[in-house]
Structure 1
Amino acid sequence: MRKNKSKRAIFLYIFDWVIKNIARLYILILILSLLYLSTNDVNIQKLPLIIIFSLLILKTFALFSLNWVNPPTSAFMLRVTNSFSDKSKKRIQYTWIKYDDISPFMPIVVILSEDYQFPNHSGFNWREILRAFQLNRSSHSLIGGSSISQQTVKNLFLYPSKTLFRKTMEAYLTLILEAVLSKKRILEIYLNIVQFSPDIFGVESASLHFFKKSAQSLTVEESCLLATVMPNPYIYEVHSPSHYMRERQELILSYLNKAISEQSLEHFLSSSHFSCVEEKWFARKIF
């Protein structure tokens, strides 16, 4: 059994590595193709191809620019803003915070609760996708298998409806996102744009609103509670956690306890970040 799991893990690692590098090769081919078409005589037959390649490259560079540019808004934020009536004075709450200024617990509980393969995959958690596919075949309720990278793309550029077009665009943009951004930057963007209530976006805004303090000071329990809301911020409420949310909070805490005891957090965090989480965790258990 262990040998089979080990072989499967190696296969998935190689597969993800190939997928990510194919995406990078695709970007290179796009650029070289546009250069080739542009350096030769441009005629009316080449014009559609030049336009298509130019748009695809522009989209790629727009995603690449996210390495330095913090998104001022997102598709989900615009959707919520447009849903407010003219009489309503309510506005979304959105405050950007640097990754290093967020409580060290928050990134790890999000990874453990939403996408434990995030540090290693190429944008798609194939195990969860397969699991969701199998469960959806035998159930009337739809279960998602989206990775953090896919959710980042969906929140930034797309819409929540589960259509074939949205899923296709999500897959394409996820491949490009993973090819041009680091895992840390993807997680930083996700934590800053993810929705915590109908009008609250980002971990800093959520922390200020619900706990009256910056996300830098979030405790592990508060981080876990916020993570329980993320799957459906229109149903779950931080101020009045349901029984399910409390159970989910305890489950995430158990995941974290196991990860720390097995020292598997090093797969998710830098050594300094890991030491900080470990130190705060043991201090919490003592006091």
Structure 2
Amino acid sequence: MNPQRPANTFRNAPPPTPRPKASNASTQRTQPLSRKPSSDQSSSRGLTRKWQQTRRFIRERPLLERIYWVVIKTFLWLFFGSMGYVVALKYVPVWVTPLIVSRWIDTFGTDESSHVYKKWRSYDSISKEAALAVVASEDQAFPTHWGFDFDEIQDAIKENQTRKRPRGASTISQQVAKNVFLWTGRSYLRKGLEVYFTALIELIWGKKRILEVYLNVAEMGSMTFGVEAASQRYYGHPAATLSRNEAARIAAVLPNPRLFLIKSPSNYIQRRTRQIARQMRYLGGQKYIRNL
């Protein structure tokens, strides 16, 4: 007789009692608390609301809306036009600058000759001693900075607190921006545009082109612009054959080329010429500007 099989307790077990559902109170406890908007979000919403109110205010006044769009279009034309002009001058010689025109106008009604001495030469056709001389005298940090020498600016601010005659701290890039694109004079608008054009030429032109333009447009004597014109007029030979001392003397008159003379230098210019030549040697010679 076969023994009786054991009962399958798993199959015959009563169904498990379902767990009670969570009450509303427990559900509310598990829900995350709503976060308050952060200060940044609140400020951004406030700015958006103010901008919408401003736009609505302008739209409700046709004349004001017309002026608004004229200003916007003028700004865009000037912005893209200036960028296009900067791009063009990266490849085209700079024959005329506002400074040249201003100096030419100043000769009207005076005994000074109105003839402008100017000859454009490419960077490769100019003695590297001339390029090194202007860097050594005007802007020794030129190969490394991005248009502005902030250390020199801070030093000039400190010195000008005690100096009777303020000392400038403009880099070669800033001087090119002023001479090529802007009018003569002093104003906050002009200074702001100088910063804008300096940043543009640093970004678009590069160091070699900036130095090339500077060597061709800088005033280096009475109605004399560019190192080629100065070399031909005062030394009788092209800028490609300038010696170190000749280049240093040209650079020595750059702070005030209408007062200081290359052909008959004063004791101050002779002393400054020796200082610049010494700085050119300390910088390591022409290799200092080889990789512009």
TM-score bracket, shorter-length normalisation: 0.7 to 0.9
Opposite residue 75 of structure 2, the aligned amino acid is: I
Q: 1:217-242: per-residue Cα shift (whole Å, max 9, x none)? A: 10000000000011101110001111
- 1:270 Cα deviation after fit: 3.5
Cα gap change, 1:87 to 1:241, in 2 (>3 Å): closer
Q: 3-state SS of the aligned residue for 2:175?
A: helix
Q: Distance in 1 between matches of 2:246 and 2:110?
A: 34
2:290 to 232, 253, 269: 269
2:101 to 56, 78, 83: 78
Q: Does 1:239 align with 2:263?
A: yes
Opposite residue 145 of structure 2, the aligned amino acid is: H
Q: 3-state SS of the aligned residue for 1:106?
A: helix
When structure 1 is superposed on structure 2, of 47-56 and 86-95 the one drifting more is 86-95
Q: Check whether the contact 2:127–2:241 (CA below 8 A) recurs between aligned residues.
A: yes
Q: Distance in 2 between matches of 1:192 and 1:140?
A: 32
2:141 to 117, 120, 131: 117
1:220 to 241, 244, 266: 244
Cα gap change, 1:254 to 1:86, in 2 (>3 Å): closer
Q: Which has the larger radius of gyration?
A: 2
Q: Check whether the contact 2:231–2:239 (CA below 8 A) recurs between aligned residues.
A: yes
In structure 1, the residue matched to 2:125 is 101
In structure 2, the residue matched to 1:39 is none
Q: Does 1:249 align with 2:285?
A: no
Q: Does 1:148 align with 2:193?
A: no
Q: Does 1:203 align with 2:227?
A: yes
In structure 2, the residue matched to 1:258 is 282
- 1:154 Cα deviation after fit: 1.1
1:161 to 166, 173, 185: 185
Superposed CA RMSD in Å reads 2.0
Q: Does 1:182 align with 2:203?
A: no
Q: Check whether the contact 2:98–2:184 (CA below 8 A) recurs between aligned residues.
A: no
Q: Which one has the bigger helix percentage?
A: 1
Q: How does 1:16-35 map to 2 (within 5 A)?
A: none
Q: Distance in 2 between matches of 1:189 and 1:214?
A: 17
Q: Check whether the contact 2:108–2:114 (CA below 8 A) recurs between aligned residues.
A: no
Cα gap change, 1:46 to 1:90, in 2 (>3 Å): closer
Q: Distance in 1 between matches of 2:218 and 2:232?
A: 15
Opposite residue 120 of structure 2, the aligned amino acid is: W
Structure 1 vs Structure 2: percent identity of aligned residues? Answer: 29
TM-score, normalization by structure 2: 0.73
- 1:49 Cα deviation after fit: 2.1
- 1:135 Cα deviation after fit: 0.7
1:59 to 54, 78, 82: 82
- 1:120 Cα deviation after fit: 1.0
Cα gap change, 1:205 to 1:136, in 2 (>3 Å): same
Q: Does 1:229 align with 2:256?
A: no
1:136 to 160, 171, 177: 160
- 1:152 Cα deviation after fit: 0.5
- Please list every run of 5 or more consecutive structure 2 residues that lacks an aligned counterpart in the other structure: 1-64
Cα gap change, 1:126 to 1:86, in 2 (>3 Å): same
Opposite residue 89 of structure 2, the aligned amino acid is: L
Q: 1:115-165: per-residue Cα shift (whole Å, max 9, x none)? A: 011111111111111111111112221100000000011111224433322
Q: Distance in 2 between matches of 1:117 and 1:69?
A: 27
In structure 1, the residue matched to 2:42 is none
Q: 3-state SS of the aligned residue for 2:147?
A: coil
Cα gap change, 1:151 to 1:117, in 2 (>3 Å): same
Q: 1:15-71: per-residue Cα shift (whole Å, max 9, x none)? A: xxxxxxxxxxxxxxxxxxxxxxxxxxxx96655423311221110110111111111
Q: Distance in 2 between matches of 1:209 and 1:237?
A: 12
TM-score, normalization by structure 1: 0.74
Q: 1:86-119: per-residue Cα shift (whole Å, max 9, x none)? A: 6866311110001001011111111111101111
In structure 1, the residue matched to 2:23 is none
